[in-house]
């Protein structure tokens, strides 16, 4: 069965073809980062319009990569939520339009389920059950994952998401938007001992996070510097920020493994691309004898492949997940633990 995946929840248009027998056949992505950069954040109306412009050319690209035609598609999975309403509607319309034209069923996929399952696109994928640390631009959650759609929330951020903390701190350091990757690169040149930032909720005895104080601490450090803060000082602040956030993320993940008694940890979402986080997790995993699984770097941030995969996994378990009723019911807000196991 070949599933087309369509992702358009925010500022990336992603299309992909996943074959339940052969795996990923092709994927294509357009990021709108350059377009939104001058506004310092995503402009929803511009995002929707750009998804409209990009989606069908990307579909042609993916079909060409796969050596397939439109009629080879057996079902279409699209991101139904959460995300920007207008952006989601574009993906839903394209999926439903294609479904109607080709007489193929469609199914709406939860964006975060896509992120959670994205490490299963890699070789040597994890088996269920596992603990998942979902660290994206809009979410920071620890979940117990017992199967597709079987998610138990163990803890989450009480304020900013991890990616949001990276981006806001990067902005304070003048690194543009979204500055998470630039801040991470800069931190590599920083001196780890130059500054020490707080480790919020490290000892809170639960699996929740809080990152807004960390951003405020970065602001205070920046304000304490003269107007022309030098590059080395910026790097030192970036390093202090990454050291703090990585320590908290690692400690809470280890605590979640201990609480659940599980020995497999899956990392998902854009912050999962962070090299310092990966190094720190690999190190402790070796010492504590658990395994960590990551998505490929290209599938950490938003993409169509994870949506095609999540759709395919659902359809394999329950073909009635898909429908030929082509409605436009997107869900901009949609808690992950409302999903039903399949
Ligand atoms: P959500 O999935 O919660 O709706 P999103 O789709 O915007 O949010 P992702 O695409 O998973 O989130 O990830 C984007 C985030 O990842 C941004 O905040 C970005 O700064 C961050 N990010 C990307 N690469 C890195 C990196 N190497 N280090 C730290 N953060 C990173
Ligand atoms: Mg994005
Ligand atoms: Fe995302």
**Domain boundaries for CATH 3.30.420.40 within the chain:** 2-117+299-338, 127-294
Asked if residue 269 belongs to a known ligand binding site, the reply is no
Q: Decide if 13 contacts 51 (C-beta within 8 A).
A: yes
Which CATH superfamily is 127-294 part of? Answer: ATPase, nucleotide binding domain (3.30.420.40)
- Per the annotation, does 36 bind a ligand? no
Tens place of pLDDT per residue across the chain (342 aa):
999 999 999 999 999 999 999 999 999 999 999 999 999 899 999 999 999 999 999 999 999 999 999 999 999 999 999 999 999 999 999 999 999 999 999 999 999 999 999 999 999 999 999 999 999 999 999 999 999 999 999 999 999 999 999 999 999 999 988 999 999 999 999 999 999 999 999 999 999 999 999 999 999 999 998 878 899 999 999 999 999 999 999 999 999 999 999 999 999 999 999 999 999 999 999 999 999 999 999 999 999 999 999 999 999 999 999 999 998 889 999 999 899 999
- How far are the Cα atoms of 62, 106, 108, 173 from residue 322, in angstroms, in the given order? 22, 5, 8, 46
Calpha distance 157→233 (Å, rounded):
29
Pocket residue to mutate for ligand 1, from 12, 271, 272, 305, most atoms within 8 A of Cβ: 271
Q: Is 162 in the pocket of ligand 1 (CB under 6 A)?
A: no
Cβ atoms of 161 and 139 within 8 Å: the answer is: yes
Q: Would the CB of 181 count as within 6 Å of ligand 1? A: yes
**Atom 20 of ligand 1: nearest residue by CA position:** 180
CA of 270 to the centre of ligand 2 (A): 8
- Does the pTM surpass 0.95? The reply is yes
Residue having the nearest C-alpha atom to atom 30 of ligand 1: 271
Q: Tell which CATH classification among 3.30.420.40, 3.50.50.60, 3.40.640.10, 3.30.70.260 matches the domain 2-117+299-338.
A: 3.30.420.40
Is 303 strand, coil or helix?
A: coil
Cα–Cα dist 50/8, whole Å: 10
- Regarding the beta carbon of 176 and ligand 1, being less than 6 Å apart is answered no
């Amino acid at each position: 069965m070949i599933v087309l995946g369509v992702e358009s929840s925010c500022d990336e248009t992603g299309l992909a073809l996943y074959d339940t027998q052969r795996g990923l056949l092709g994927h294509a992505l357009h990021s709108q980062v350059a377009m939104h950069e001058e506004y310092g954040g995503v402009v929803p109306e511009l995002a929707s319009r750009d998804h409209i412009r990009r989606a069908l050319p990307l579909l042609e690209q993916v079909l060409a990569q796969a050596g397939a035609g439109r009629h080879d598609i057996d079902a279409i999975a699209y991101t139904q939520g959460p995300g920007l309403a207008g952006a989601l509607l574009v993906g839903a319309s394209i999926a439903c339009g294609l479904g109607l034209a080709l007489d193929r069923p469609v199914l709406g996929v939860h964006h975060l389920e896509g992120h959670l399952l994205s490490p299963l696109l890699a070789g040597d994928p994890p088996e269920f059950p596992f603990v998942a640390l979902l660290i994206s631009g809009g979410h920071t959650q620890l979940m117990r994952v017992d199967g597709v759609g079987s998610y138990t929330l163990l803890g989450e951020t009480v304020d900013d998401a991890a990616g949001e903390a990276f981006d806001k701190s990067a902005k304070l350091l003048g690194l543009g938007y979204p500055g998470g990757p630039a801040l991470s690169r800069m931190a590599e040149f920083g001196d780890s001992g130059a500054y020490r930032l707080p480790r919020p909720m490290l000892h809170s005895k639960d699996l929740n996070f809080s990152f807004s104080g960390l951003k405020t601490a970065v602001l205070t450090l920046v304000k304490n510097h003269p107007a022309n803060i030098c590059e080395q000082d910026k790097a030192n602040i970036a390093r202090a920020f990454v050291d703090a956030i990585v320590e908290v993320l690692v400690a809470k993940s280890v605590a979640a493994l201990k609480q659940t008694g599980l020995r497999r940890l899956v990392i998902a979402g854009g912050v999962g691309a962070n090299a310092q986080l990966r190094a720190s997790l690999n190190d402790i995993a070796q010492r504590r004898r658990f395994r960590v699984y990551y998505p490929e770097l290209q599938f950490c941030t938003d993409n169509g492949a994870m949506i095609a995969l999540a759709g395919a996994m659902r359809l394999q378990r329950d073909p009635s997940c898909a429908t030929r009723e082509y409605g436009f019911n997107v869900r901009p807000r949609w808690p992950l633990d409302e999903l039903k196991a399949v």
